[in-house]
Structure formats: structure tokens, C-alpha cells
């Protein structure tokens, strides 16, 4: 489908139309100055914030921090009168939703979690239920934020595929591309909002995309790190950074592609309780703790090893690319200073030093 | 803290005493790590080799409870090498000669023998601390929870004043406060001898000011300290002071769990059970609440609005995120309802209105109106009026009392030295994943999984001598009681010394601790008591 143009004046009216039949989720700046993906119920009172990076990714909307999977009650079998456990699944409601103002990295993150929860032989019904009726309007990043490095992970600042609609800000209008059925349907259902592109629009879009690539403030050698990890694991660096890790799990909780979870049962009263799924993180020592109190990972030196090897080595081997999407969220949240950027830069610096020494020896 | 947490980033020397900062104050530790990255020298004073000590340029691994002789030794070196700040001493302090005379009697060989720290290391630490322009001291409960806690703190203050490392940015003497609002609780007069803002109960003018504002007559004598309340039924071992206490008949406990957190639990239980009436207001049915006649369900942090004051005296606004669940109510609503039942018309529309009264009556909080706090990341007291920008560091031109007074101190023996029957020293403290008596953190499955059971840290040499192995069940006994732990053998704890936490009701550590307290602060010696260890479990 050919790209079209949406005037900025028509954005809110378009969202209003779509939100009649869909829940609208977009980055919203709250009264405390934080931008968070939230539900917008009143477009007159709250307009999506497209100037700041949302603190959360879309992950919690599909894979919530905690969710009730099922509840159980202890009752008597009507036939033989024996005590038994009965389980009842709790499927989330399936509300058609439009996710607006999604950035390329977050869209890419969701494609990754799709692969985890829906890609195998077993599909996760809770995730699938939320995912079914979702439509995404993404927006390319003309001005990457201070911690962004999606250029290095090749997940942005603009997408080639995966979105329903992708917007590019070209001054007083958006350049609109459609990729998947949900987007085409919007273009078909609301043609009055869009006009065809001109040659000038195309040039403006090309220019914006080109300029954006030059505006990244961080130089992060993701490919080099992937290559180095394939050759050798930097044990001393893992130990150094593990010693600094504060074990808060913040990186995994904010990460769009971290999908580990734990399942716990919570007794509510004498007769029953519920089964809860909650986020987990591989940096926790309890993550690998085994019966008999044996732990295959010495967390004082290996806490962060699992995380970075998973993101950069194992996922590259398995899926052909690292599972870091370069959103930079873990950089600001990590107060131990052991975020992925620091790791990649440290391993790159080690290599540089080694290279220098080798040259020196020669 | 005399200074701000952010200033740590730019200190040249950071002396950390009695603080397991990485575990207890990770947000402070992050600044220390950052400073060390930028070349700052870190001096750690701790009997245990903590993770912070791994980063230290100098780790003074002193024998527990010997802070005073150690710091006196450092000060002696500073005098010997003439690294004192003469100008600061003459302009800003008094009683220096008393300190000097005492220090001149210090024998550094004796200091080394008493503290277990080599003389050379003491001298190196002294030089490092004194020579830098920007040296700062952070201390925590390892300094204060001793029979000589007050003298310990005074000694660290002596060190800072001797070298002039106060009154400016990146210096100071900084106690790290343990909870998000323990500073605020003290500031608001949750201490027996002061009204809000440390205004003395004994001062008739202050008393009159509060009487006018509240329209009631107020007592002119200080109340009881926590320890004197929870140990109110003078035990056989209790001091004469304790026996002379007025007998308590009723108590109202808010958000505190003395049945796990106070020393010598047997005495606490006796006191609480001996009351005519006990009311506990808490989120969950704690060990203390189980003994109560009435339990009031309190709202959690997420269900109430108001302010909290952190270590660096920063008052921050806290917003309600969800409506109170069930019958729970925010604390101020509970207090207001009780007051009205007692025929006192306490009626505030909102926490903001309460804050207006605080501003009116508490000079150091004079400008802390909610609207000002909302538009900033909080303000640091003293903040005396609306125009005041707050105070990042204290004592700029003068100390609160005028001149800083040196209070020389000498070594105080632990209240309960080790002997043949109880040959090991037990230090109590915290673990990273749990908070206080675990009433909240142990209900969080992820946190509880990280630290699921009470453990006792022991040096490999002691474990070998006792023929104990990793994860053995061990029974620890003191003269007052005993409880069981899982053994965690680690070289981070020095030989002869044990370490455990008090987060677990399964192992109520405070059955072991003793209630002997600092005479001034009445803070008990949580950090030291003599114990023995036996193999526990079924056998």
C-alpha cells in the first residue's frame, strides 16, 4: 500500500474515531512529569506525549508484572465425598486496543516476546488473549533520546515491518506507512483523514530518517560485543560487574524483551487460593537456587553473566540477532552501573587494550 | 546527615564506619562506588569484610566495639604529624586542649593491640583522611548500637572537627538513616524530650507556644524512651534506673514490631502482656499485634499521601497511588478519629493542612508547604520560610550550639564480654532483601525466595573448631535465650565473631541480645552480645 499523509491537525480527530471501538493506549505525561504508556479515556483532557520516551515499554500490557492465572478451591467430590482441589482458569479480557505512539524499539521488543510466548509448540493463552486484538501505530524517532542505541541493535530509529501504521514526523504532518492488516484497515475505514504523498513529502521523510541516524549520542559496539562473546567469555569483567549489581531486578523488569517469570500460589483462606504469575529476573540468586540449597551460579561473581550472555550470545545463536533492542531504559534505572551499555563498552574497551598490547609486543 | 547524599560523588576521601552500605543503603553505596571510580580513597571501618570493604583502599577491620580507641589512635597520628586544622580549631571549636591532653596519653601500640588493627594501617588511614581537602564520614548503626553509642558518635565528630572536615560541601559527619522516614519521625518529635523540630519539652516558652496552638495543657517533663517503655517491667537483671520507671498501663504502637525488633524479647513480652491495654496499628497482624487488645488496620505507603524525610534532611512529597484497601485508614485519620473520641476536636482536612501547622510551629520546617514540595524534588531543612531554598549542608558559619565542643572519650568495654561459657561475639544487623522484622518483605514471594531462612554467618576457622558444616542447623544461645539458624560459613566474618539478622520470626534474634543501653541515647547494644553455638535440629 502506498504511503499517505496525515496532517497533525487531524491526528486527534482520527484517534477519537478509532477510540470509539477500541481502547486507546499511548504515552501520557502525568501530573508528576513522568511519561508512561497509559490508557487515554478523554482525548480532550489528555493528548499523547510524543516528546518523551515512555518509562515503561509495552511489555506490561501483554505480560503483566503479576497476574492471576487460576484460582483453586478445596471442596468435596460430589460422587465419593473425598476432599479435592478444583482449579479455575482466569483468562484476561480481550479488549480491542490501539497502541499509539509506540517507538520502533518497543515494537521490535513485542515481536520478540511474540516469538517467546507464541512461537513455540505451546502458545501462552494469557499472552495470546491480550495480543489478539491489538493494533499498533508506531512513530519513528527523529530525535533519539540520550540513552538510545537502536542504531547499533538495528531495531530503529525507523522500522521496515512489524507495525500496523508507522508515522514519520515531517513538520506539520505525518508520513504514514502501512504494513499489516490492522493499518490497512484504518486507512480504508477513515480515508477522509489521509491524502496521497507528494514527491516533497517523500524527500522530507527520507531527510528525517537520514538525519535521525546521525543524532545518536551513544556509540555502542553491539556487533563487536557479540563477536567477542562468541570467542571468549570475559570472566573478570563478569565478576567485577556482578560485584556492583545491586540485585534489584530493575533491568529485567523494564526490559521490553525480558520474559522470565515465576509462579507462586497464594492461599487466600482455608478453602482456597490463587495461582500467580509474576516477573522474575535471572540476576536473582533465587532464580537458579535448587533443592538442598545448591546454586549452580555463584552470584557474587556470576550474577550478571547469565543476563548478558542471554541477550548477546545465546539469542544471537538461536534467533540470529541479539535480543537487546537498544531502548536504553536499563541505563537510567540501574544504580549499580552494570547496564548493558556499560557491559558492551567495557568488553569493547578490554578488546582495544588487548589489541594495543599485542601491537606493542610485535 | 550534615551534608547531601549527592556530595559523596565528589568527595576525595570517604570514611565509612559501621555501615554495610551496599546492602543497607544501596543508593548511598552507588555514590560511593562512583566516587571511587573517580579516584576517591575509601576507608572502611568494620569488623566484617563487607562488599564495600572489597572496594576500600584501607579496611580497618577492628575488633567489635573498639571504635573509640581506633579513632583516638587516628587522631593521635594526626596530631603527631601536625595535620590538624589550626584555623578551624581556633575559630569554630572549644575544649580542644582537653582532647589534646587525652590524645597525648594514647599509646599507639596499645591501640593496635586493643583494636586488632596494625599501627601502620591506623597511621595511613589518619593521613589519608586528614590530608585531603574534601573528606567525609558516613556512619550507621554499627557505631550507634553500642553501650557507648553516644561517645562513639562524639569521637567521629572530634575527628571531623580536628581536621576541619565540616562546614563545607563534600565533607561532614553523615549518619545514614535506615528507613524512608525515620528522620521525619525524629523531626516531628517522636522522641521523648522534644516537640517537632527538636524544640525542647523542658523550655517553658516552647511549651507555651504548642499549648496555645493546640489549646491543651502539655506535660513539662520528657516522656520515656522506647527501651524504657518496652522494658518497663523492671527485670531482675534490670538496672536501678529501669526499676525507678513509672509503671506503664497502656500503649499505642504504630507501625513498629517490638516483639521482634527490641532487645531481650522475654522482657518485652513480659511488659506488653502486663499492660492493661495495648493498641497496635499496622498493615498486618505482627507478633506485637497478636498481643494487642485492639488492632487498627493501617494504610500502606501506596494508600496515603503526605511527606517523608530522608537521611539528607530532604522532605519529599508522597502521593497516594491507590485507595485504601478494606477498612484500612491513613495514620492521620486514625489519630484524628481517636482524638475526637477523646473529646479533642482534632480536625484537619488534608495532609497539606497538617503541613501548614508544622510550618507554623517548627522553625526548621518553616517553608515546607506542600505546593513548594510538589514543584521540586523536595527541600532540605532548615528551610525557615517560603523564600528559603533549603540547606544542602549544615554548620556553614557556626554550629547549632555556637562553637563545636570536643568531647574526649576513652574505650568502653562491651556490656557483655565473651567468656568460657559464651565464647563468641554476636553482631546483629540486616540482609539486603528484607526489611526490619520482615512483616512486609517476607510476604513478597520474590524477596522471600532470595533470603528464605534465617542464617548465621561464621568464619571457617570457628566452624572447623565446632565441627560444623555449611547449612547445618545450629542453635545459638546467650544468657537470655536461644534460637536456631542455618549456618553460612564465610570468611567475611572474622574469627570469634558471628553475624545474623533479625528479619525472621522463626529465629527471633532479639531473644539473644541484651538490653543494656547507652546511658544518654538509651539505644541498646544490639551489635554485641556473648553467645555459644551448638549443633541444632533434631539432635
What secondary structure does DSSP assign to A197-246, as a single string? --HHHHHHHHHHHHHHHT-------HHHHHHHHHH---HHHHHHHHHH--
Contacts of B471 in chain A (CB under 8 A): 293
Listed residue (B324, B6, B311) closest to B139, CA to CA: B311
* pLDDT for B240: 59
Residue recorded with cell 568488553:
A347
- The DSSP string of A86-117 is EEEE-PPP---EEEEEE-HHHHHHHHHHHHHH
Residue B368's pLDDT is 94
Beta bridge partners of B473: B486
Selecting from A243, A284, A337 the residue whose C-beta is nearest the C-beta of B51 gives A243
Torsion of CA A304, A308, A309, A315, to 10 degrees: 140
Residue B486, C-alpha cell as written in the block: 542455618
Q: Is residue A54 assigned to a domain?
A: yes
Phi, psi for residue B398 in degrees, rounded to 5: -160, 160
Domain span at residue A337 reads 222-361
**Between A292 and B85, the higher pLDDT residue:** B85
For residue A140, give every residue at least 6 positions away whose Cβ sits within 8 Å of its Cβ, in sequence order, or none: A104, A156, A157, A158, A159, A166, A167, A168, A169, A208, A209, A212
In this predicted structure, the answer to whether residue B35 has a pLDDT above a threshold of 80 is: yes
On chain B, the residues whose CB falls within 8 A of the CB of A280 are 446
Task: Tell whether A8 and A110 lie within a shared domain.
Answer: yes
Please check whether residues A206 and A351 belong to one and the same domain.
Answer: no
CA atoms within 13 A on the CB side of B526: 23
pLDDT band (50, 70, 90) for residue B241: low
Over residues B35-44, mean pLDDT: 95
Residue B243 has pLDDT above 70, yes or no: no
Which residue from A minimizes the CA distance to B317? A32
* Residues A245 and A354 occupy one common structural domain: yes
Chain B CA closest to residue A265:
B445
Residue ending a domain, among A161, A185, A213, is: A213
Cell digits of residue A257: 524483551
Q: Average pLDDT of chain B? A: 92
Do A290 and A149 fall into the same domain?
no
- Measure the N-to-C terminal CA separation of chain A; round to a whole number of Å: 58
Neighbours of B97 (CB within 10 A): 10
Identify which of B34, B446, B452 has the shortest CB distance to residue A284: B446
**pLDDT mean over B38-65:** 95
- The per-residue pLDDT for range B141-160, each reduced to its tens digit, is 999 999 999 999 999 999 99
Q: What is the pLDDT of residue A238?
A: 93
Phi-psi region of B313 (alpha: psi -120 to 50; beta: other; left: phi over 0): left
Q: Which residue has the cell 587525652?
A: B102
**pLDDT < 70: residue spans in chain A:** 356-362
Cell output for B71: 579513632
The answer to whether residue B519 neighbours chain A at the CB level (below 8 Å) is no
**B-chain residues near A244 (CB < 8 A):** 33
Q: What is the pLDDT of residues B163-220, one digit of tens each?
A: 999 988 899 899 998 788 999 999 999 999 999 999 999 999 999 999 999 999 999 8
- Among A32, A262, A335, the residue with its CB nearest the CB of B30 is A335
**What's the pLDDT score for residue B238?**
53
Same domain, A175 and A102: yes
Residues A190 and A289 in one domain: no
Residues A154 and A42 in one domain: yes
Matching residue, cell 556530595: B7
A17 and A153 together in one domain = yes
Domains of chain B: 5-176 (3.40.228.10), 182-380 (3.40.50.740), 424-535 (2.40.40.20)
Distance CA A356, CA A352 (A): 6
Residue of B nearest to A263 (CA): B445
With b meaning 16 or more CB within 10 Å and e meaning fewer, what string describes B439-464?
bbbbebbbbbbbbeebbbbbbeebbe
pLDDT at B396 over 90: no
Does residue A71 lie within any of the structural domains?
A: no
Q: Do B452 and A284 touch (CB under 8 A)?
A: no
Chain A residues within 8 Å of chain B (Cβ atoms): 32, 243-244, 246-249, 262, 264, 276, 278, 280, 284-286, 289, 293, 335-337
Domain-embedded: residue A87: no
Q: Is residue A72 in some structural domain?
A: no
**Residue B237's pLDDT band (cuts 50, 70, 90):** very low
Q: Cell digits for B489?
A: 560459613
Whether residues A203 and A239 share a domain: the answer is: no
What residues does B296 pair with on adjacent strands?
Answer: B281
Percentage, residues of chain B above pLDDT 90: 83
Do the Cβ atoms of B406 and B99 come closer than 8 Å? yes
Which tens digits make up the pLDDT trace of B506-531? 999 999 999 998 988 889 999 999 99
Of A246, A262, A337, the CB nearest to B446: A262
A343 part of a folded domain: yes
Best of B8, B449, B486 to disrupt the A interface (most A CBs within 10 Å) is B449
Tell me if A172 is assigned to some domain. yes
For residue B405, give the DSSP letter. E
Q: What sign does the dihedral A246-A248-A250-A251 (CA atoms) show? A: positive
Work out the end-to-end distance of chain B between its first and last CA atoms, rounded to an integer number of angstroms: 49
Please say if the pLDDT value at position B439 is more than 60.
yes
Distance CA B455, CA B447 (A): 15
Query: Tens digit of pLDDT for each residue in B268-303?
Result: 999 999 999 999 999 999 999 999 999 999 999 999
Measure the CA–CA gap between B117 and B158, rounded to whole angstroms. Answer: 20
CB contact under 8 A, B26 and A246: yes
* A242 shares its domain with A329: yes
Question: Among B33, B319, B449, whose Cβ lies nearest the Cβ of A244?
Answer: B33
Non-local (6+) Cβ contacts of B407 within 8 A are: B95, B151, B154, B157, B158
- The H or E element that residue A68 is part of is strand A66-76
Would you state the pLDDT for residue A250? 93
Inter-residue contact B429 to B141 (CB < 8 Å): yes
A303 with A278, same domain: the answer is yes
pLDDT at A329: 95
pLDDT of amino acid A355: 75
Helix H or strand E segment including A74: strand A66-76
DSSP reduced 3-state for A152 = helix
Predicted local distance difference test score (pLDDT) of residue A131: 93
List the grid coordinates of B439: 512483616
Contact B449 A262 (CB under 8 A): yes
Which ipTM did the prediction report?
0.84
Which residue in B420, B371, B437, B415 sits closest to B524, CA to CA?
B415
Cβ–Cβ under 8 Å, residues A186 and A177: no
Q: What pLDDT shows up at residue B242? A: 60
Residues A136 and A10 in one domain: yes
Last residue of a domain, which of A213, A238, A253? A213
For residue A230, being part of any structural domain is answered with yes
DSSP class of residue A56 equals S
Domain boundary pick from A168, A188, A213? A213
Q: What is the pLDDT of residues A265-313, one digit of tens each?
A: 988 988 899 999 999 999 999 999 888 788 898 888 888 999 999 999 9
Is the distance from CB of A28 to CB of A46 less than 8 angstroms? Answer: yes
Report the domain count for chain A.
2
Cell 524530650 belongs to residue: B193
Q: Tell me which DSSP letter residue A58 carries.
A: S
Q: Based on the number of CB atoms within 10 Å of its own CB, is A237 exposed (0-12), middle (13-18) or buried (19 or more)?
A: middle
> What is the grid cell recorded at A246?
545491586
Q: Name the pLDDT band for B236 (thresholds 50, 70, 90).
A: very low
Supply A8's cell numbers.
Answer: 497533525
Identify the bridge partners of residue B431 per DSSP, sorted by sequence position.
Answer: none
Residue B75: partners with Cβ closer than 8 Å, 6 or more residues away = B99, B103, B126, B158, B159, B162
A49 lies in a domain?
A: yes
Q: B32 and B62 in contact (C-beta within 8 Å)?
A: no
* pTM of the entire predicted model: 0.89
**Residue A147 DSSP symbol:** T
C-alpha cell read off for A306? 547469565
User: Would you state the pLDDT for residue A358?
Assistant: 65
Amino acid at each position: 500500500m502506498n504511503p499517505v499523509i496525515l496532517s497533525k491537525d487531524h491526528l486527534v480527530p482520527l484517534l477519537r474515531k478509532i477510540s470509539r471501538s477500541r481502547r486507546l493506549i499511548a504515552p501520557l505525561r502525568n501530573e508528576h512529569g513522568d511519561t508512561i504508556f497509559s490508557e487515554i479515556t478523554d482525548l480532550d483532557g489528555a493528548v499523547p506525549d510524543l516528546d518523551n520516551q515512555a518509562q515503561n515499554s509495552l511489555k506490561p500490557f501483554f505480560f503483566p508484572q503479576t497476574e492471576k492465572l487460576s484460582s483453586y478451591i478445596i471442596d468435596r467430590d460430589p460422587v465419593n465425598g473425598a476432599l479435592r482441589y478444583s482449579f479455575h482458569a482466569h483468562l484476561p479480557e480481550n479488549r480491542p486496543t490501539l497502541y499509539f505512539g509506540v517507538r520502533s524499539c518497543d515494537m521490535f521488543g513485542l515481536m520478540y516476546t511474540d516469538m517467546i510466548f507464541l512461537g513455540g509448540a505451546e502458545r501462552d493463552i494469557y499472552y495470546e488473549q491480550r495480543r489478539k486484538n491489538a493494533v499498533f501505530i508506531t512513530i519513528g524517532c527523529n530525535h533519539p533520546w540520550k540513552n538510545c542505541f537502536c542504531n547499533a541493535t538495528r531495531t530503529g530509529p525507523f522500522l521496515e515491518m512489524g507495525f500496523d501504521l508507522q508515522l514519520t514526523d515531517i513538520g506539520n504532518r505525518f508520513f504514514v506507512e502501512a504494513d499489516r492488516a490492522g493499518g490497512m484497515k484504518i486507512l480504508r475505514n477513515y480515508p477522509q483523514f489521509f491524502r496521497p504523498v507528494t514527491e516533497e513529502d517523500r524527500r522530507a521523510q527520507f531527510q528525517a530518517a537520514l538525519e535521525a541516524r546521525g543524532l545518536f549520542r551513544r556509540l555502542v559496539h553491539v556487533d563487536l560485543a557479540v563477536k567477542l562473546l562468541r570467542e571468549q567469555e570475559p570472566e573478570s569483567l563478569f565478576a567485577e560487574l556482578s560485584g556492583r549489581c545491586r540485585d534489584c531486578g530493575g533491568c529485567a523488569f523494564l526490559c521490553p524483551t525480558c520474559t522470565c517469570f515465576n509462579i507462586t500460589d497464594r492461599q487466600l483462606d482455608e478453602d482456597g487460593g490463587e495461582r500467580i504469575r509474576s516477573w522474575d529476573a535471572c540476576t536473582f540468586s533465587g532464580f537458579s537456587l535448587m533443592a538442598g540449597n545448591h546454586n549452580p551460579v555463584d552470584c557474587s561473581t556470576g550474577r550478571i553473566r547469565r543476563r548478558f550472555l542471554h541477550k548477546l550470545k545465546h539469542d544471537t545463536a538461536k534467533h540470529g540477532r541479539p535480543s537487546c533492542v537498544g531502548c536504553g531504559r536499563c541505563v537510567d534505572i540501574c544504580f549499580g552501573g552494570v547496564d548493558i551499555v556499560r557491559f558492551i563498552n567495557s568488553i569493547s574497551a578490554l578488546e582495544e587494550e588487548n589489541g594495543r598490547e599485542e601491537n606493542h609486543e610485535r | 546527615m550534615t551534608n547531601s547524599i549527592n556530595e559523596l560523588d565528589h568527595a576525595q576521601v570517604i570514611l565509612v564506619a559501621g555501615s554495610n552500605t551496599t546492602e543497607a543503603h544501596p543508593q548511598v553505596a552507588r555514590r560511593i562506588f562512583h566516587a571511587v571510580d573517580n579516584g576517591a580513597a575509601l576507608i572502611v571501618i568494620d569488623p566484617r569484610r563487607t562488599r564495600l570493604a572489597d572496594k576500600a583502599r584501607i579496611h580497618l577491620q577492628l575488633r567489635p566495639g573498639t571504635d573509640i580507641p581506633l579513632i583516638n589512635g587516628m587522631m593521635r597520628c594526626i596530631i603527631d604529624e601536625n595535620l590538624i586544622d589550626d584555623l578551624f580549631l581556633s575559630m569554630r571549636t572549644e575544649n580542644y586542649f582537653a582532647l589534646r591532653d587525652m590524645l597525648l596519653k594514647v599509646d599507639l601500640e596499645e591501640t593496635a593491640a586493643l583494636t586488632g588493627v596494625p599501627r601502620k594501617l591506623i597511621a595511613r588511614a589518619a593521613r589519608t583522611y586528614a590530608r585531603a581537602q574534601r573528606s567525609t564520614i558516613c556512619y550507621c548503626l554499627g557505631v550507634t548500637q553500642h553501650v557507648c553509642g553516644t561517645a562513639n558518635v562524639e569521637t567521629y565528630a572530634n575527628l571531623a572537627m580536628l581536621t576541619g572536615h565540616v562546614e563545607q560541601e563534600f565533607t561532614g559527619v553523615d549518619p545514614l538513616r535506615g528507613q524512608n522516614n525515620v528522620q521525619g519521625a525524629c523531626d516531628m518529635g517522636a522522641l521523648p524530650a522534644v516537640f517537632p523540630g527538636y524544640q525542647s519539652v523542658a523550655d517553658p516558652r516552647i511549651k507555651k507556644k504548642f499549648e496555645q496552638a493546640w489549646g491543651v495543657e502539655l506535660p513539662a517533663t520528657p516522656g520515656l524512651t522506647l527501651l524504657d517503655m518496652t522494658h518497663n517491667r523492671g527485670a531482675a537483671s534490670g538496672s536501678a534506673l529501669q526499676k525507678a520507671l513509672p509503671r506503664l498501663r497502656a500503649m499505642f504502637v504504630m507501625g513498629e514490631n517490638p516483639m521482634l525488633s527490641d532487645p531481650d524479647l522475654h522482657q518485652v513480652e513480659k511488659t506488653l502482656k502486663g499492660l492493661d491495654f495495648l493498641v497496635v496499628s499496622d498493615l498486618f497482624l505482627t507478633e506485637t499485634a497478636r498481643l494487642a487488645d485492639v488492632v487498627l488496620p493501617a494504610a500502606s505507603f501506596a494508600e496515603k499521601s503526605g511527606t517523608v524525610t530522608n537521611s539528607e534532611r530532604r522532605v519529599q512529597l508522597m502521593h497516594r497511588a491507590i485507595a485504601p484497601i478494606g477498612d484500612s485508614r491513613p495514620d492521620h485519620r486514625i489519630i484524628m478519629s481517636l482524638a475526637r473520641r477523646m473529646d479533642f476536636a482534632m480536625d484537619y482536612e488534608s495532609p497539606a493542612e497538617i503541613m501548614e501547622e508544622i510550618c507554623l510551629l517548627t522553625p526548621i520546617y518553616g517553608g515546607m508547604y506542600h505546593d513548594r514540595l510538589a514543584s521540586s524534588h523536595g527541600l532540605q531543612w532548615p528551610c525557615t520560610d517560603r523564600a528559603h531554598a533549603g540547606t544542602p549542608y549544615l554548620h556553614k558559619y557556626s554550629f547549632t550550639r555556637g562553637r563545636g565542643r570536643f568531647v574526649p572519650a576513652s574505650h568502653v568495654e562491651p556490656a557483655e564480654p565473651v567468656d568460657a561459657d559464651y565464647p563468641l561475639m554476636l553482631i546483629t544487623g540486616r540482609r539486603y532483601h528484607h526489611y526490619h522484622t520482615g512483616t512486609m518483605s517476607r510476604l513478597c514471594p520474590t524477596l522471600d525466595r532470595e533470603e528464605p531462612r534465617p542464617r548465621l554467618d561464621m568464619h571457617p576457622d570457628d566452624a572447623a573448631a565446632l565441627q560444623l558444616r555449611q547449612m547445618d542447623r545450629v542453635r545459638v544461645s546467650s544468657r537470655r535465650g536461644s534460637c536456631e539458624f542455618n549456618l553460612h560459613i564465610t570468611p567475611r566474618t572474622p574469627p570469634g565473631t558471628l553475624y545474623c539478622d533479625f528479619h525472621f520470626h522463626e529465629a527471633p534474634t532479639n531473644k539473644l541480645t541484651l538490653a543494656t543501653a547507652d546511658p544518654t541515647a538509651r539505644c541498646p547494644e544490639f551489635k554485641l552480645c556473648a553467645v555459644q553455638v551448638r549443633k541444632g535440629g533434631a539432635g
